[in-house]
Amino acid sequence: MLQFKPQKGRVIFHIDMNCFYASVEMAYNPSLKGKPLAIAGNPEERKGIIVTSSYEARDEGVYTTMPLWEARKKCPNLIVKKPNFARYRKASSKIFSLLRDVTPLVEPVSIDEAYLDVTETNYPGGPVQLAKDLQNRIYTELDLPCSIGIAPNKFLAKMASDMKKPMGITILRKREIKQILWPLPIEKMYGVGTKTAKKLRTLQIETIGDLANKDVYILKQMLGVNGERLKNRANGVDLRPVDPDAVHELKSIGNSQTLPQDTTDERDIIRVLSDLADSVVRRAKRKERVGRTVQLMIRFSNRQTITRSKTLPYYIDDKDHIMSIVRELLNNHWDRRPVRLLGVTLQDIEEKKHIAKQLDLFTYEKEEEKEKLDVTIEQLTEKYGENPFKRLVNSDESLKPQTSFQKDFLDDFLSE
Give the residue ranges of the annotated binding site: 16, 112
Please identify which of the residues 113, 120, 368, 369 carries the catalytic annotation. 113
β-bridge mates for residue 376, sequence order? none
Q: Do the Cβ atoms of 284 and 331 come closer than 8 Å? A: no
**Whose CA is closest to 11, among 113, 74, 105, 81?**
105
Q: Do the Cβ atoms of 64 and 53 come closer than 8 Å? A: yes
In the DSSP assignment, the letter for residue 406 is -
**Whose CA is closest to 48, among 74, 22, 24, 66?**
66
β-bridge mates for residue 171, sequence order? 150
Long-range contacts of 198-206 (CB under 8 A, 24+ apart): 199/223
Burial label for 138, CB within 10 Å (0-12, 13-18, 19+), is buried
Residues 6+ apart with CB under 8 A from 310: 293, 294, 325, 328, 329
Angle at 331 between CA 326 and CA 337, to 5 degrees: 110
Binding residues for Mg(2+): 16, 112
Angle at 252 between CA 246 and CA 256, to 5 degrees: 110
Q: How far apart are alpha carbons 154 and 385 in whole angstroms?
A: 32
Residues 6+ apart with CB under 8 A from 364: 47, 49, 67, 358
Q: How far apart are alpha carbons 103 and 91 in whole angstroms?
A: 19
Q: How far apart are alpha carbons 21 and 34 in whole angstroms?
A: 15
Amino acid at position 236, single letter = G
Q: Report the 10 Å Cβ neighbour count for 277.
A: 24
Amino acid at position 300, single letter = F
Put residue 375 in one of left, alpha, beta given phi > 0 → left and psi -120 to 50 → alpha: alpha
386 assigned to active site: no
Alpha-carbon separation of residue 283 from 66, 74, 317, 405 (angstroms): 25, 36, 10, 10
Task: List, by residue number, the catalytic residues.
Answer: 113
